[in-house]
Every structure is written in C-alpha cells, then in structure tokens.
C-alpha cells in the first residue's frame, strides 16, 4: 500500500543514496562537500519523518550549518592547484569496490534474513520538555554527566584546534 509516508521515504532514501555515491566518486572536492551537505539534509529529513524534529533541527544546525561550512572553508584554504582528485590506479579501485560491495551484500543478507519484531511505531512528537528534563536529569535516565563531558570535550577541541592550526 502506497502512502504519502512511503513516497516521502523513498524520495529521501534515493536522495541520500545518490548523493552519498556522488560524494565519494566526484572528482572535485568542493562538489563532494556539497553532496555531503545533501546527505545531511536527507538524514535530517529521515529524523523529521521519524517524528524526532528536535534531532532533525540539531542535524541541520550543527552538521549542515556548522560542519559543512567548516569543510568548505578548509577546502578553499587547502586546494590551491585545482581541486581535482588524482586518478587512482584501476586495480585499487576495483579491489575497494569488490570489498565494499561484498561486505554490503553480506550485511544486507544477514539483516534481511532476521526479521525484527515490531514493524511499525506509534506516531507522536517527542516533547522538547521531556528532552530537556532527560538531558539535565541526574537520575536513572538523566544525561547530565555525558552532557558535561561533551562540553569539556568541545572546549578541549577548541583549544586543540587553535593550538594545532595556529601559525608559529
């Protein structure tokens, strides 16, 4: 039965897959970054479809909005003599292709052979209040400790990034 959901999902899935393949095959690095951006958009779409709109928003803001910009800047900074990827030797490409396709096949085979019990989920938007309480909670389902750890990690990252990249 074809529903709107399924159509949207199909479109998103195709969009993600094609963009991803293009991102790893295109010769121009700037285009690869653009295709990555498309993949991220598609992923955000999947989050929205799963009724995790907060996560989708985070994905758009941080990934699409922040990280991709970082990529683009660094590409512009580092690609001086054209941004073409160099030709890879044929056999290496073939080996990589065979390995990944075989692995993909096996993974899909295993996954599809074992049915998962629930095949659907209850619709319903996740309350931002719930998320906030869980994120700041200190109890059994609280995530304040990882939250704080992540904040320290980000701080360390900022310092490390500056330390590494600064001119001496």
Partner 1 sequence: MDFTYTVLILLLPFLSFILIGLLGTKLKPVTAGIIGTVVTGIAAALSYYTAFGYFGAGRDASGVYPTMIPWNTVWLPFSETLHIDLGVMLDPISVMMLVVISTVSLMVHIYSFGYMKGERGFQRYYAFLSLFTMSMMGLVVATNIFQMYLFWELVGVSSYLLIGFYYTKKEAVAASKKAFIVTRFADLGFLVGILFYGFYTGTFSFTPDAPALGAAKAILPIALGLMFVGGAGKSAMFPLHIWLPDAMEGPTPVSALIHAATMVVAGVYLVARMFPLFVEYAPDVLHLTAYVGAFTALYAAVVACVQSDIKRVLAFSTISQIGFMIVALGVCTSSDPHAGGLGYMASMFHLFTHAMFKALLFLCAGCIIHAVHSNEVSAMGGLRKYLPVTHATFLVACLAIAGIWPLSGFFSKDEIITACFEFSPFIGVTMTFIAGLTAFYMFRLYYGIFWGRENKALHAEHVPHEAPATMTVPLVFLAVVTLFAGWIPFGHFVSSDGQAYTIHINTTVAIVSLCVAAAGIALATWMYMREDRKVADGLATRFSGLHKAAYHRFYIDEIYQFITHRIIFACISSPIAWFDRHVVDGFMNGMAWVTEKTSWAIRYMQSGSVQRYCIWFLGGVLGLVILLLLI
Partner 2 sequence: MIQMEYYLIVSTILMFVGIYGFITRRNLLAMLISVELILNSVDINFVVFNRFLFPEQLEGFFFTLFAIGISAAETAVAIAIIINIYRNMKNIQVKNLKNMKW
Q: CA-CA distance, 159 to 144, in Å (whole number)?
A: 23
Minimum gap (Å) between residue 20 Cβ and partner 2:
4
Q: Is 96 in the site for partner 1 (CB under 8 A)?
A: yes
d(C-alpha 39, C-alpha 26), whole Å = 14
Q: How far apart are CA 141 and CA 122, in angstroms?
A: 21
Site for partner 2 in 61-80 (CB under 8 A): 62-63, 66-67, 70-71, 74-75, 77-78, 80
What's the chain's length in residues? 168
74 binds, among partner 2, partner 1, none (CB under 5 to 8 A by kind): partner 2
Q: How far is Cα 58 from Cα 67, in angstroms, rounded to an integer?
A: 12
Picked from partner 1, partner 2, none, the partner binding residue 59 (CB below 5 to 8 A depending on kind) is partner 2
CB 36 within 8 A of CB 21: no
Interface pick for partner 1 out of 14, 102, 128, 157 (rule CB under 8 A): 102
Q: Which residues bind partner 1 (CB under 8 A)?
A: 95-96, 99-100, 102-103, 106, 110
């Amino acid at each position: 039965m074809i529903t709107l959901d399924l159509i949207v999902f199909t479109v998103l899935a195709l969009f993600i897959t094609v963009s991803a393949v293009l991102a790893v095959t295109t010769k121009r690095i700037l285009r690869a970054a653009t295709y990555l951006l498309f993949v991220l958009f598609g992923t955000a779409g999947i989050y929205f479809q799963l009724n995790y709109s907060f996560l989708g928003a985070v994905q758009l803001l941080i990934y699409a909005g922040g990280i991709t910009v970082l990529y683009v800047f660094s590409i512009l900074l580092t690609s001086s003599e054209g941004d073409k990827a160099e030709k890879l030797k044929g056999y290496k490409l073939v080996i990589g292709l065979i390995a990944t396709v075989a692995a993909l096949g096996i993974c899909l085979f295993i996954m599809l052979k074992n049915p998962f019990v629930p095949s659907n989920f209850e619709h319903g938007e996740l309350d931002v209040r719930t998320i906030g309480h869980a994120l700041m909670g200190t109890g059994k389902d609280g995530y304040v400790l990882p939250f704080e750890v992540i904040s320290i990690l980000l701080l360390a990252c900022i310092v490390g990034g500056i330390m590494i990249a600064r001119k001496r």
